[in-house]
Structure 1
Amino acid sequence: MMGFDYGRFGTVGGNALRRNVRRLNKALADALRPPPRMTVSEWAAEFRKFPEDAPIPGDWSHDTAPELVEIMDAMSPHDPCEEITVMKCAQSGGSASAENWLGFISDLAPGPVLFVQATFQAALDWAAEKFWPMVEATPKLNPERRGTIRAQGLANGDGSTSKKVLFSRSSGYILLAGANSAAGLRQRTVRYAVEDDLDQFPADLDGQGSPEGMIDERLKVWRSRGLSKRLKISTPTIEGSSKIAAAYEKSDRRHYYLRCPECTDRFLIDWGDVQWVDGDHEHAHVVAPCCGVQIEHWRKPEMKRPDGWLSDRIDGKPVPRVLTEDAFQAFRARMQPSRKRGFHLAGEISTFQSWGEMAVGFRDAQGDVSKLKTWTNLKRGIAFKVATDTPDYEQLMKLREQHWGVGQMPIGPLVVTLGGDVQGDGIYVEKVGHGPRKETWQLDARFLPGATDVPGEGAWKALDEYAQRGTAFPGGKVLPIDWECIDAGYHTPAAQAYCAKRPRRLAVFGRAGWGRPILGRGETIGYEQQGRRAGRAGSKAEDKAHIVGVSNVKLSWYGYLRTTMQAFAAVEESGVAEVTPVGRVHLSRDTPADWFEQATAETIEVRMVNGFPDRRWMVMPGRQNHYLDCRVYNLAAAEKLMLDTLTEMDWAALRADRYAPREDGLRDLFAPDLTQSQAPPAPQPSPMPPQPRHGYVEKREGWL
């Protein structure tokens, strides 16, 4: 067969044609050549880079966290696994594995990807803080180095956008979406899906079902061809209603075994293995369950191997906690490559937190159920079991102590807060004294009648007069309230006008949710919306507000009541002097009768929503919860003042200053009637001086 005659085009033309043909042949061969058979972990080791300002800059190294290798490999296209569940502690590297997978997809297995966060804003934040820095640091992805990701803001309009990341070598893309928007989850048929922070997804979306169900529909076509992949990743929340824990239970439930550096056996670490000496939590160590040897934290890296994962049941039988190396490998050989794999990245194995750090957190959470829940979720990476029993309000009446006059206090409290729950016909208020170890004294509780829709009038005027009377300390000083948290969810403008009138007042909005902090600053409520307005910032006053995470605060409050009742019962039964528990609650003989019933008016109920149990606080039939809300806002005020950060010296200085006799040297044997309007007003507080910690109890008369 005769070849093409390039010579008839002349020397210059013929050579140019030859070069073009060679390029065309190469391009055709490249197009037909299948991508290299790499795993996601191999791709990460070869290509993933971290920027110079990252905690661990430079190349990705499996030596840092070898437990992530098997998780990433399950995401590889040639692996039969189609759903990967990662239940993790905070800062475990699990999210970085998801980032590696997205980079791998853009390079070697392009296709449409749906990346879902709890809200669209959270997805945008992830892209700005995690994804684009990875793209910029990784040459394989960097568009300026002809990488696999298209740049943003191209002049021709053919680049990536804030919502959609485009791949440069294919029609693939990453679509960002929020789990609170049905429209964002219905837009595309996709091959891959990442559900990040799954436990923060709503249980139901616009009455159309769960976000997980909608994502499942987006994957249906690719899944029918055996080509889909799905990654679920989150820290868990409440046992029985955690979405990531439920997904993990439906998987093959893999746990990570450490290798003992002394006897070389493998063992599944448990929190009970972490021990410390004489309260020295900072230097906690592990006592190996295999040989009893004490292992210091610095040896953790040598205990971890890429092959450390085992399902909790193999061949229908539970896997022992301690195994010889041969037995461990035998179990590994019998473990089936399931289509649904679950990995538990427990805090005890994490590279990025020490056993000492976990022990300190455990110590600091004692006595506070909410903090213990947070520690369990974030530090250990397991779901927290909440007590569903409600304290008996009739039994609480036994806690009433001596009388202390209105506007005064007993010996003990050092800081005073006020919480207000606004109703249409008045405002419920509770004034609370605080001391060390979260000990509280109920100083006063009452209902201030009057209209609440007009700023500065009705109940608002009465509340302002009440708050300005101050509180008489045992030494005779009358000091103003340290901080007020007032419910602004009902008549928002009137509540905000009241708080703007004087310092140390804060308009707050109570919101349910097990993942919320006690007090969040300036959270945009508009992003909780669903439907057409989902993800858009609103213009209403409450759209940028201080949010009180009521679910966890109520958990703490009920915990304080239970431990107080237990301490009281111990003294009543044995006569032994009680050890004051953390969060001890003191109640006066003057506490209103309806306070006890209202302060315990809610209970945790379990409701099935789209097939998932949902645990939430519900008001019991026939009860009102106004004083419970008041106590919640008082605890939020304590959080605002950062009382849990005060040292023993700080508390001692406060006591010396606030319990000191009045400057005139006299102390009234009979307390002044502070309830009368003609009582002299408390001195106006001076502006709070600049301080490094916002919200800290302000300095008064040189107490520090």
Structure 2
Amino acid sequence: MISHATALEELRAAQARVRKLWMPPPDITIEEWARAKRVLPSQSGRPGQWKADPIQREIQESCCDPKVREVVFMKATRLGWSEICNNTLGWGIDVHAMSMLMLQPSRDTAEDYCKERLEQMIESTPALAGIVRMATSKASGSTTRNKRFSNGGSFFVASAGNPRELRSKRARFVIQDEADGYKNDVSDEGDPDKIVRRRLDEFFDGRLLIGSTPGMPQGISRIEKAYNRSSQGIYLCPCPHCNALEPFRWRHPDKPDLFLLRYEKDRDNQVIPESVHYTCIRCGAAIEERWKFSMMDAGHWLHRRPAVTAVKGYHANGLYAVFPGHWAKMAQEWVDAQGDQLELKAFINLHLAETFTEPGESVDPGFLRTRAAQDDRPRAVVPEGVALLLVQVDVQTAGLGRLEAQVVGFTSDERAYLVDFQVFPGDPQQDQVYEDLDAWLLHGWLHQNGARMTPHLVLIDARDGNCKDSIYRFCAPRADRWIFPQMGVETLSSKGWAEESGARKMSQRMFLSATDDCKRVVMSRLNLEANAPKSIHLPAWVSDEYLDQLAAEKRVAVTDVKTRKTTYRWVRTRNRNEAIDLWAYAYAGWWIITRILAPELSGPEGRQQLEQLAALASSASERVTPGEAPGRRIRSRGIFE
């Protein structure tokens, strides 16, 4: 039996808990919370009680300023960005019990962040360790990437490459980490930045924190674009000699060849650490690195666009890193990078926090327009010398949906002629739009000498999972006409531009194309002389929009911030890129027909057969079909040998 005193005590305890639930959160900033409660783990470079570096303070204050909706940090490495994210997370969970979401470029980087950063922070910070629900059972609701807290707060680390994860979580506070590592289009479902911003819509005080080292070229970099639309903050430090306030810069702003960090080298091309110093842009005095820390303590952020209050932006290069000897380390890496384009790019991205402009693999739309203006071929007419007629179909589900199709004629020396282009409006998940496409295919194209040709091969893009059933329904009964589904992939199991997939659906053959290789072929051949073998010929009737789409991508080197590994990626320079995709399918089709379906068409003997096909098309008076081509023997699976 419970005594009156015990019952009264329990009642008062319950009342206290209820009052605590209804009390407004304490008026405490992220910086104040971190100083009071944040403990850095032993694995940290500076373990123990948190102490902010000078450049971190205002960034953290802006994250909890009610007038600021977005905070952007365009940064070098080793400036404490991860700790800013961790402090923001701890403050949001402990003080406000927020629902929070972080984006990482991939699932692997998301899991690495949770294991290497997040879990260490929770374990070393008592305020968070006491309220986290450990992932010891399904009932806890917590997993490696999804943390739930007993006060109602939650935190999920999502992969920017997974649209389902981006759409599945609502969040009051979103953090985008290493934003330049995100794909421009996630599984053809849109930009991950735009998708995740919708997660904030239902919160009147929703906020976004974006940080990244630049990893993309100028004009394409996400973090550069975000910084350019922000208040554009730079950190000013007073010179210990003349007291002039200036930011740390690598080069003189008016004299790009004049470097402000100076040093001497020995005979082995090694930087002499004692010689490294910074040069004041105002008085020209030498500033040793030992002065850097007091200069930063006395410095402050200056916003070059102060009228922009809702989007606070900050930029800082590696000269602001507080680690002793960092200036000498930067100088040596700069020396070592000379003559190596990839190392130079990594230095400019990671240490200077600047975008790197490189030639890349691309083509200028103005050049394409000039070239096309010289070719006055009529539309839908096959020119002399074409041996094979290939059709490519791109499936678009945006809006009401459509199919975009083009016809390319190949000669025996691999010159490629754009013959026709057509858009078929309609829902790609329904059969009607494919019936319209089929009527177009069956009608054929007039050869300039009078015969009518039908295509030798048709490839239909089957990347969109929602449309696969309708594409397969269309292709399966038309396999004897060589109408097949195909998908672009990053890598193939064999060398070449395309291969046949081992997977089948409805007994339908399926082909895979190497996206990177095919687009590189397109770019190289667009830049060939107009009458050279393997050149691409565009007619004057093509629209400016088509040419802009054909030049809408650029192949650039991307350096991983952690591993320093450099890979290459095709990035869009504009939203629509259907034309370059179609041309990539065209070269995949050339490979499929000359290496897989009819390998006798490759090599010197194959070239002779292609010349015979071209001669047949030129001399025919009525209609040329693939079945009438020399050497084509239709078999039960619809192939010829």
Say yes or no: TM over 0.5: yes
Quick one: distance in 2 between partners of 1:369 and 1:270? 22
- Tell me the residue number matched to 2:262: 275
Residues 1:163 and 1:305: Cα distance change in structure 2 (over 3 Å): same
Pairing 1:292–2:279 present: no
Contact 2:178 2:213 in 1 (8 A): yes
Quick one: distance in 2 between partners of 1:290 and 1:41? 33
- Structure 1 residue 281 displacement after superposition: 5.2
Deviation track 1:369-415 (CA, whole Å, cap 9, x = no partner) reads 11111000011111112236999xxxxxxxxxxxxxxxxxxxxxxxx
Pairing 1:246–2:225 present: yes
Quick one: distance in 2 between partners of 1:58 and 1:24? 36
- Tell me the residue number matched to 1:153: 136
Quick one: distance in 2 between partners of 1:120 and 1:389? 29
Residue identity in the other structure for 2:31: S
Pairing 1:51–2:41 present: yes
Counterpart among 12, 30, 42 of residue 20 in structure 2: 30
Residue identity in the other structure for 1:251: S
Contact 2:236 2:248 in 1 (8 A): yes
Quick one: distance in 2 between partners of 1:519 and 1:106? 28
Residues 1:609 and 1:228: Cα distance change in structure 2 (over 3 Å): same
Pairing 1:93–2:65 present: no
Deviation track 1:281-322 (CA, whole Å, cap 9, x = no partner) reads 534211122332211112211111376111124xxxxxxxxx
Residues 1:520 and 1:51: Cα distance change in structure 2 (over 3 Å): closer
Counterpart among 345, 351, 354 of residue 373 in structure 1: 345
- Tell me the residue number matched to 1:464: none
Counterpart among 217, 230, 234 of residue 255 in structure 1: 234
- Structure 1 residue 161 displacement after superposition: 0.9
Pairing 1:491–2:494 present: yes
- Structure 1 residue 134 displacement after superposition: 0.5
Pairing 1:164–2:154 present: no
Contact 1:40 1:73 in 2 (8 A): yes
Contact 2:99 2:154 in 1 (8 A): yes
Residue identity in the other structure for 2:81: G
Pairing 1:71–2:59 present: yes
Quick one: distance in 2 between partners of 1:165 and 1:345? 31
Q: How does 1:257-406 map to 2 (within 5 A)?
A: 257-271=236-250, 272-277=259-264, 280=271, 282=273, 283-305=275-297, 308-313=300-305, 335=306, 338-352=309-323, 354-387=326-359
Quick one: distance in 2 between partners of 1:520 and 1:308? 33
Q: How does 1:498-577 map to 2 (within 5 A)?
A: 514-516=557-559, 549-550=567-568
Quick one: distance in 1 between partners of 2:310 and 2:93? 23
Q: How does 1:137-216 map to 2 (within 5 A)?
A: 137-142=124-129, 147-154=130-137, 157-170=139-152, 172-216=153-197
Deviation track 1:498-543 (CA, whole Å, cap 9, x = no partner) reads xxxxxxxxxxx9897632469989xxxxxxxxxxxxxxxxxxxxxx
Residues 1:519 and 1:165: Cα distance change in structure 2 (over 3 Å): closer
- Structure 1 residue 189 displacement after superposition: 2.3
Quick one: distance in 1 between partners of 2:571 and 2:109? 29
Contact 1:190 1:218 in 2 (8 A): yes
- Tell me the residue number matched to 1:539: none
SS at 2:214 equivalent? coil
- Structure 1 residue 33 displacement after superposition: 2.1
**Aligned residue pairs, count:** 389
Residue identity in the other structure for 1:341: K
- Structure 1 residue 336 displacement after superposition: 5.1
- Tell me the residue number matched to 1:608: 574
Residue identity in the other structure for 2:302: L
Residues 1:285 and 1:548: Cα distance change in structure 2 (over 3 Å): closer
Residues 1:390 and 1:72: Cα distance change in structure 2 (over 3 Å): closer
Residues 1:149 and 1:294: Cα distance change in structure 2 (over 3 Å): same
SS at 1:195 equivalent? strand
Residue identity in the other structure for 1:165: K
Contact 2:238 2:298 in 1 (8 A): no
Quick one: distance in 2 between partners of 1:250 and 1:169? 36
SS at 1:255 equivalent? strand
Q: How does 1:664-679 map to 2 (within 5 A)?
A: none
- Structure 1 residue 26 displacement after superposition: 2.0
Residues 1:22 and 1:189: Cα distance change in structure 2 (over 3 Å): same
Q: TM-score, normalised by structure 1?
A: 0.51
Residue identity in the other structure for 1:190: A
Residues 1:184 and 1:488: Cα distance change in structure 2 (over 3 Å): closer
Residue identity in the other structure for 2:227: Y
- Structure 1 residue 490 displacement after superposition: 4.8
Residues 1:306 and 1:337: Cα distance change in structure 2 (over 3 Å): farther
Q: TM-score, normalised by structure 2?
A: 0.56
Residue identity in the other structure for 1:152: A
Residues 1:306 and 1:115: Cα distance change in structure 2 (over 3 Å): farther
Q: How does 1:463-478 map to 2 (within 5 A)?
A: none
SS at 2:297 equivalent? coil
- Structure 1 residue 38 displacement after superposition: 0.8
Counterpart among 235, 251, 254 of residue 213 in structure 2: 235
Residue identity in the other structure for 1:135: I
Residues 1:248 and 1:25: Cα distance change in structure 2 (over 3 Å): same
Residue identity in the other structure for 1:119: S
Contact 1:346 1:381 in 2 (8 A): yes
The runs of 5 or more residues in structure 1 that have no matched partner are 1-8, 314-334, 392-486, 494-508, 522-546, 552-603, 627-704
SS at 2:144 equivalent? coil
Q: Percent same amino acid among aligned pairs?
A: 25
Pairing 1:217–2:198 present: yes
Residues 1:363 and 1:209: Cα distance change in structure 2 (over 3 Å): same
Contact 1:67 1:306 in 2 (8 A): no
SS at 2:11 equivalent? helix
Quick one: distance in 2 between partners of 1:347 and 1:310? 18
The runs of 5 or more residues in structure 2 that have no matched partner are 251-258, 364-489, 497-514, 518-554, 592-641
Contact 1:259 1:305 in 2 (8 A): no
Contact 2:556 2:571 in 1 (8 A): no
Residue identity in the other structure for 2:309: S
Contact 2:558 2:568 in 1 (8 A): no
Q: How does 1:617-656 map to 2 (within 5 A)?
A: none
Contact 1:209 1:610 in 2 (8 A): no
- Structure 1 residue 141 displacement after superposition: 0.9
Contact 1:115 1:194 in 2 (8 A): yes
Residue identity in the other structure for 2:57: V
SS at 1:86 equivalent? strand
Quick one: distance in 2 between partners of 1:518 and 1:75? 24
Quick one: distance in 2 between partners of 1:375 and 1:307? 25
SS at 1:152 equivalent? coil
Residues 1:121 and 1:610: Cα distance change in structure 2 (over 3 Å): farther
Quick one: distance in 1 between partners of 2:25 and 2:76? 35
Deviation track 1:241-280 (CA, whole Å, cap 9, x = no partner) reads 1111111111111011112223333211211321113564
Contact 1:254 1:343 in 2 (8 A): yes
